[in-house]
Chain A
Amino acid sequence: MHYSSKLIERAVEEIAKLPGIGKKSALRIVLHLLKQEPRQTHQLAEALLQLRDHIQYCKECHNIADEAICSLCSDPRRHRETICVVEHFKDIAAIERTGHYQGLYHVLGGLISPIDGVGPQDIHIESLLQRVQKHKVEEVILALSSTMEGDTTAFYLTKRLKELQVKVTALARGVPIGSELEFTDELTLARSLLGRVEF
């Protein structure tokens, strides 16, 4: 698309890089911003810059944080002998909403997924083992999704944590195992029939 202004063109291009936003939506956003007070655009740009430059990951649990240590890890009321392991920091919010958990968290930042080339060393497993060893952790609760990758990660963690003599439990999960079963090629009777053979 060509716009009469290089400035618009550049803004549209940048916004369209965001997930789920095409050029059309990007142009709509740009035109919307131009209709608003300049202050609004400044605030948006400022908030994004602040976010990008000052966001941190908690040195203890890898949760998203404003300081080097997140608000959960630095809260003296949290029980420090229990760690709940989750995949993403957004899972923490879901568990916090239940109001039933008082312990600490550990964010893996992913799951072991051989097909995607993600191994144990690519997610925060070593730091979890270190935390368990260093502090007096009594129980590790695994709250991972019941997918094949979630299960693999859970079994792997259980194996590694057992060496450290810590109690490992898993969150009761409502989803039946294998609900995401990929129905791929296994039950295909024949390979594609290229060149039929004669008897």
Chain B
Amino acid sequence: MPSKLDSMTHLKNISLTDFKSYASLKLSFHEKLNILVGQNGVGKTNLLEAIYWLLTGKSLQGHSERHAIRYGSEGWSVEGEIAEEERLHHVRCAFYPKQDRKAVFIDGSRVERLLDYYGRFPVVSFTPNDIDLIREAAEQRRRTMDAFFAQLSQEYAVHLVQYHALLRRRNALLKQWREQHAPDVALLEVFHMRMEQEAYPLYDLRRRFTGELNPLVSFYYEKLSGGKEFIKIEYRSQLSEASLQQLWQESLPTDLKMGFTSKGIHRDDWLLLLNDVPMKWSSSQGQRKTFLVALKLAMSDLLFRRKQQNPLLLLDDIFDKLDAERVSALLQLVRQQRLGQVFITDTEPERMQRLLAESHLPGALFEVKQGRAVQL
């Protein structure tokens, strides 16, 4: 019987040119587990960043293209081979600002609209910054929601980008009207009509996807923590309480005063509950990190269920603050097929070597030093 592993989407190799600290780097990866070890600041995260650019055309850390240019060079490129079922794709993401805008190529042909590339090779990441999901304002949770749902559904991505393009224009109108004259009601109605057409599909998809995610998050949280606690993500939207027309009608005087749109789908949030109490108030650091890992595993699982394609998992600095039991529970989960190819960074080579040996996981260990990386 052919093993499922053979058909799993995975990154076979990568080649970096003038990307961050790497002048030139070529690496071949293991199809299941890849562990990058090295001290803080040597460029482990930069490798994950390069992989993320290659798979999505975007930055993992929210940086600009320019930010990734190695000091003194003209631009950068990341290329690699992605195995997908029986096919091998050559993918390249490049940024040379003097010649061109950022470009992504699959098998030699340029992707015309980068929005169409996003989600083509699904990827789920965990970075230390994800703790913001629990303690910061709604924006960070919305970003996570959007970045994830847009990978799940092209339809979602298009509605989202359209809605925000319209929202920017509505906000510009509000600012102008603040300084000038009374609002042009007909024009405002045009924007409301068009924003509604984008917002309601987003609302439905957010509700549906959150519903599908919930049992998976519970499942992984239980696996990681050994049970006893109850996790829930609640989708919160002003649209559940009133129609957009009502919301905008009510908020218009305020919006005109402030010069921006105070209500709408762009204010949605996730309420994260641990035993029915918001996590923000009550959870320990271990619980938070376990929740975040469970969330990422659940996202990965849902991507697989919906797209029949294994997402790649990028786990940056994940073992810090997790106890040994949770770490080994996590590695057991990684052994499961549907978690696909995994990249993990850590600072302690001994710990990782021991973990690899104990968990009997097939994988490769890489040592990362300033501007270099070698397989051990």
Which A residues fall within an 8 A CB radius of B? 112-115, 117, 119-120, 148, 151-152, 155-156, 159-160, 178-179, 181-193, 196-199
Q: Is the CB of A159 within 8 A of B146?
A: no
CA distance A140 to B166 in the complex (A): 26
- From the candidates B59, B125, B132, B165, name the one contacting A182 in the complex (CB within 8 A): B165
B113-129 toward A: CB 8 Å interface, digit per residue (1/0)?
11100100000010111
The CA of A192 and the CA of B59, in the complex, are separated in Å by 9
Complex Cα distance, B64 from A191, in Å, reads 10
Question: Contact: A187 with B125, CB < 8 Å?
Answer: no
Q: Is the CB of B186 within 8 A of A159?
A: yes
Main secondary structure of the interface of B (DSSP, over half): helix
Asked if A114 contacts B62 (CB within 8 A), the reply is no
Considering the complex, give the chain B residue whose CB is closest to the CB of A149.
B169
Interface string of B131-157 (1 = CB under 8 A from A): 110000001100110110010000001
Closest 4 CB pairs of A and B: A114-B172, A190-B62, A114-B169, A189-B147
- Asked if A120 and B169 make an inter-chain contact with CB atoms under 8 angstroms apart, the answer reads no
B143 touches A188 (CB 8 A): yes
Establish whether residues A155 and B59, one from each chain, have CB atoms under 8 Å apart when the complex forms.
no
A115 engages B172 (CB within 8 Å): yes
| A-B residue pairs in contact (CB < 8 Å), sample of 13 | A113-B169, A114-B170, A114-B172, A115-B168, A120-B187, A152-B194, A156-B186, A156-B187, A178-B158, A183-B118, A189-B125, A190-B62, A191-B139
Question: Judging by beta carbons under 8 Å apart, are A198 and B113 in contact?
Answer: no
Check A186–B190 contact: CB distance below 8 A.
Answer: no
Are B58's CB and A156's CB within 8 A? no
Q: Does B321 contact A (CB under 8 A)?
A: yes
Cα A113 to Cα B172 in complex, Å, equals: 9
How extensive is the interface on chain B, given as a class? Answer: 35 or more
Q: A187-B150, A193-B129, A199-B131 are in contact. Are A148 and B160 (CB under 8 A)?
A: no
Q: Report which B residues bind A (CB closer than 8 A).
A: 58-64, 113-115, 118, 125, 127-129, 131-132, 139-140, 143-144, 146-147, 150, 157-158, 160-162, 164-166, 168-170, 172-173, 176, 184, 186-187, 189-191, 193-194, 285, 288-289, 320-321
Given A152-B191, A178-B161, A187-B58, list of 11 further CB < 8 A pairs?
A114-B176, A119-B184, A120-B186, A148-B166, A152-B187, A186-B146, A189-B61, A189-B62, A189-B125, A189-B144, A193-B62
- In Å, the complex CA distance between A118 and B166 comes to 15
Given contacts A119-B176, A148-B169, A155-B194, contact A181 B115 (CB under 8 A): yes
Q: Contact: A181 with B165, CB < 8 Å?
A: yes
User: In the docked arrangement, what's the CA distance between A189 and B133, Å?
Assistant: 11
CB distance from B124 to the nearest CB of A (A): 10
* Structural contact, A178 and B184, CB atoms closer than 8 A: no
Are A190 and B143 in contact, CB atoms less than 8 angstroms apart? Answer: yes
B residues near A199, Cβ cutoff 8 Å: 128, 131, 285, 288-289, 320-321
Closest A residue to B266 using CB positions = A186
A187 and B160 contact, Cβ closer than 8 Å, known pairs A196-B128, A199-B131: yes
Whether A183 and B114, one on each chain, are in contact in the complex, defined by CB atoms closer than 8 angstroms, is yes
Q: Which residues of chain B are near A160, meaning CB under 8 Å?
A: 186
What is the CA–CA distance of A148 and B198 in the complex, to the nearest angstrom? 13
In the bound complex, residues from chain B placing their C-beta under 8 Å from that of A115 are: 168-169, 172
When A159-B190, A187-B147 are in contact, do A197 and B129 touch as well, CB less than 8 Å? yes
- Chain A residues, Cβ within 8 Å of B288: 199
